[in-house]
């Protein structure tokens, strides 16, 4: 039986358990008349029985299927003849790969060597055994759980409390997924990064100015020594983000001021959602627009004034990214501006200030921390933005501050290093995870500061 059938059977069993548990709760008090003697509603007795039946069984299924693959592989290797066990690690992983392909149905048995065929047969045999064992164990657990719950049903049993306790635990479990995600991200990038830093010293990575991740496959290869100095990537990322912020901050901030302070409510109601459409457009669309429309257009404009704009220039990617970020800046600034109490404005008007003076000298000063927080969030988004730069920025690492030249970014390099075939122990692949670690830490830092500033500011006026 496959795992999905087992799960289906468990669910059916749980439904049956519900009915029998409910029926028994009536039985122990002598029919429907005696329902008043029960501690909880009959359906809670049913639910308790069903939960006792399904939860342990489902848990076993989950653990079993998650660990089955690796345990079976180890068992299979242990049962193979000496010749297989003494294979060097790379050949052994090749064999395992072929076996897995056959098992998954991607290859036919006659496409692989006899040795591998034997291994594949062994694996299939073991897997059949394991599936059978799982079915037996799981069904036994389900029956046993239901039986115990059924046996315990009595008028005094506090079924509702038990069921609600279980539900509360489930709710708590769901909310801890956020923590597990963060830990998962950290562990997955940290683990591979440490392996990377064992090969490449961490200082060479952070302070090196040469980035060419192609490592030599053969020793005599030319020009692919592999240099992992990430400084050009950092400067490229910063350059593009800076261009983006130069576009997004003034436009976003002034839009927010106009919409919050000047605009007629009806104009505001129409314009705000329209601006926010800019944030809802998929980034891949912006990337396409940057690469096919803005990039060539900038080149033509540059030529007409005698400037040489490289294809994949930081300017094209930055400009389009800036447009994407406008709504982030504007809606956050808008929130901050509208949160400034009206009394501050009234005070300024009473002293004879014009509206713009009031905005500049009173409202913006009061809202400044919040706006800075919003801008920091926008910077973190610009740094982590991927598709626009993958499609519109360059690939070669270029240490320059000239926005007309092509630069590459951290995210572009992560994508180019990880898309396509990869072997998991080369420095090239691991470098992507080291870059991911840097990216995660930098954006995390920015987010924490920004969220802290924004929250602190919000509390001020509440």
Partner 1 sequence: MSEPTGNATQRLPGTLRDHRLAAEAVARGLKARYWAERRFKFYGLAAVSLGMLFLAVLFFSIISKGWSAFRQTYVQLEITYDPALLDSDATSTKEALAQADYNAVVKAAMRKLFPTVEGRPNLRKLYALISSSAGFELQHRLADDPGKLATTERVWLLADDDLDQYYKGRILRSEVESTRPLSDQQLDWADQLRKSGAAQLRFNRQFFTSGDSREPELAGVWGAVAGTFFTLLVTLLLSFPIGVAAAIYLEEFAKKNRMTDLIEVNINNLAAVPSIVFGLLGLAVFINFFGLPRSAPMVGGLVLTLMTLPTIIIASRAALKAVPPSIREAALGMGASKIQMVAHHVLPLALPGMLTGTIIGMARALGESAPLLMIGMVAFIVDIPKGLFDPATVLPVQVFLWSDIPERAFVERTSGAIIVLLAFLIVMNGLAVLLRNRFERRW
Distance CA 406, CA 308 (A): 11
- Kindly state the smallest distance separating residue 51's Cβ from partner 1, in Å: 13
The CB-of-182 to partner 1 minimum distance in angstroms stands at 5
Q: Applying CB under 8 A, does 57 fall inside the site for partner 1?
A: no
Stretch binding partner 1 (CB under 8 A), from 20-28, 78-86, 138-146, 441-449: 441-449
Q: Which of 356, 396, 402, 460 contacts partner 1 by CB under 8 A?
A: 356
Rounded to whole angstroms, the Cα distance separating 268 from 259 reads 6
CB-wise, 163 or 314, nearer to partner 1? 163
Per CB under 8 A, contacts with partner 1 among 78-107 are 104
Contact status: 71 vs partner 1 (CB under 8 A): no
Instruction: Assess 283 for contact with partner 1 (CB under 8 A).
Output: yes
Rounded CA-CA distance 14/49 in Å is 8
- 6, 205, 375, 414, 424 from 187: Cα distances, Å: 32, 20, 29, 17, 16
Contact status: 185 vs partner 1 (CB under 8 A): yes
| 239: nearest Cα among 407, 77, 75 | 407
List residues bridging with 313 in a β-sheet: 406
Residue 70 Cβ, how far from partner 1 at the closest point, in Å?
Answer: 8
Within a 10 A sphere around the Cβ of 272, how many other Cβ atoms?
18
224 makes contact with partner 1 (CB under 8 A)? no
- Smallest distance, partner 1 to C-beta of residue 188, A: 3
- Choose one: 25-33, 47-55, 305-313, 436-444; the region binding partner 1 (CB under 8 A): 436-444
Q: How far is the CB of 322 from partner 1 (least distance, A)?
A: 9
According to the binding rule CB under 8 A, does residue 171 interact with partner 1? yes
CA proximity to 406, closest of 325, 308, 324: 308
x/- mask, partner 1, residues 141-170, rule CB under 8 A, reads -------------------x---x--xx-x
**Among residue numbers 28 through 47, which ones bind partner 1 (CB under 8 A)?**
none
Is 285 a binding residue for partner 1 by CB under 8 A? The answer is yes
Choose the stretch contacting partner 1; rule: CB under 8 A; options: 215-223, 237-245, 299-307, 321-329: 321-329
HSE-up (13 A, CA, CB side) for residue 387? 10
416: buried, middle or exposed (CB in 10 Å: 19+, 13-18, 0-12)?
middle
Which residues ranging from 200 to 219 are in contact with partner 1 (CB under 8 A)? none
Site for partner 1 (CB under 8 A): which residue of 31, 36, 66, 114?
A: 66
Proportion of the chain in helix, strand, coil states, percent, rounded to 5: 80, 0, 20
Instruction: Examine residue 274 and tell whether it contacts partner 1 (CB under 8 A).
Output: yes
The answer to whether the CB of 131 falls within 8 A of the CB of 1 is: yes
Where does this chain touch partner 1 (CB under 8 A) — which range of 8-16, 197-205, 209-217, 439-447?
439-447
DSSP H helices in 200-257: 202-207, 231-257
Q: Is 75 in the site for partner 1 (CB under 8 A)?
A: no
**Tokens describing residue 140:** 């036994």
Binds partner 1 (CB under 8 A): choice among 141, 377, 431, 453: 377
Number of other CB atoms surrounding residue 200 within 10 Å = 18
């Amino acid at each position: 039986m496959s795992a999905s059938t087992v799960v289906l059977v468990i669910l059916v069993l749980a439904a049956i358990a519900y009915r029998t548990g409910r029926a028994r709760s009536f039985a122990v008090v002598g029919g429907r008349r005696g329902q008043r003697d029960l501690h909880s509603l009959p359906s809670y007795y049913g639910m308790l029985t069903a939960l006792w039946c399904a939860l342990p069984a489902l848990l076993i299924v989950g653990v079993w299927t998650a660990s089955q693959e690796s345990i079976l592989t180890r068992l299979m290797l242990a049962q193979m003849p000496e010749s297989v066990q003494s294979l060097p690690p790379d050949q052994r992983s090749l064999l395992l790969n072929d076996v897995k392909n056959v098992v998954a149905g991607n290859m036919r048995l006659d496409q692989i060597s006899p040795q591998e065929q034997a291994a594949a047969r062994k694996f299939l045999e073991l897997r059949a055994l394991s599936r059978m064992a799982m079915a037996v164990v799981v069904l036994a657990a389900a029956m046993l759980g239901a039986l115990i719950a059924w046996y315990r049903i009595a008028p005094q049993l506090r079924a509702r409390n038990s069921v609600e306790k279980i539900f509360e635990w489930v709710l708590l479990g769901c909310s801890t997924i956020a923590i597990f995600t963060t830990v998962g991200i950290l562990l997955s990038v940290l683990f591979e990064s440490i392996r990377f830093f064992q090969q490449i010293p961490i200082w060479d990575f952070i302070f090196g100015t040469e980035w060419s991740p192609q490592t030599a496959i053969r020793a005599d290869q030319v020009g692919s020594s592999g240099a992992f100095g990430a400084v050009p990537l950092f400067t490229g990322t910063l350059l593009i983000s800076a261009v983006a912020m130069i576009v997004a901050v003034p436009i976003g901030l002034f839009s927010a001021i106009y919409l919050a302070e000047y605009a007629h409510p009806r104009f505001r109601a129409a314009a705000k959602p329209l601006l926010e459409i800019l944030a809802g457009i998929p980034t891949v669309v912006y990337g396409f627009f940057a690469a096919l429309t803005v990039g060539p257009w900038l080149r033509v404009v540059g030529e007409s004034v005698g400037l040489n704009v490289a294809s994949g220039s930081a300017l094209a990617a930055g400009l389009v990214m800036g447009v994407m970020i406008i709504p982030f800046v504007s809606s956050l600034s808008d929130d901050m501006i509208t949160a400034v109490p009206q009394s501050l404005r009234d005070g300024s008007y009473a002293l004879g200030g014009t509206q713009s003076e009031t905005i500049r000298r009173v409202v913006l000063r009061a809202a400044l921390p919040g706006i800075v927080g919003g801008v920091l969030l926008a910077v973190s988004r610009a740094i982590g933005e991927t598709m626009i730069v993958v499609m519109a920025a360059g690939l070669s690492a270029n240490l320059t501050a000239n926005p007309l030249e092509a630069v590459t970014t951290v995210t572009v390099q992560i994508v180019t290093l990880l898309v396509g075939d990869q072997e998991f122990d080369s420095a090239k692949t691991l470098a992507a995870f080291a870059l991911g670690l840097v990216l995660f830490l930098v954006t995390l830092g920015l987010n924490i500061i920004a969220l802290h500033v924004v929250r602190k500011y919000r509390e001020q006026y509440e």
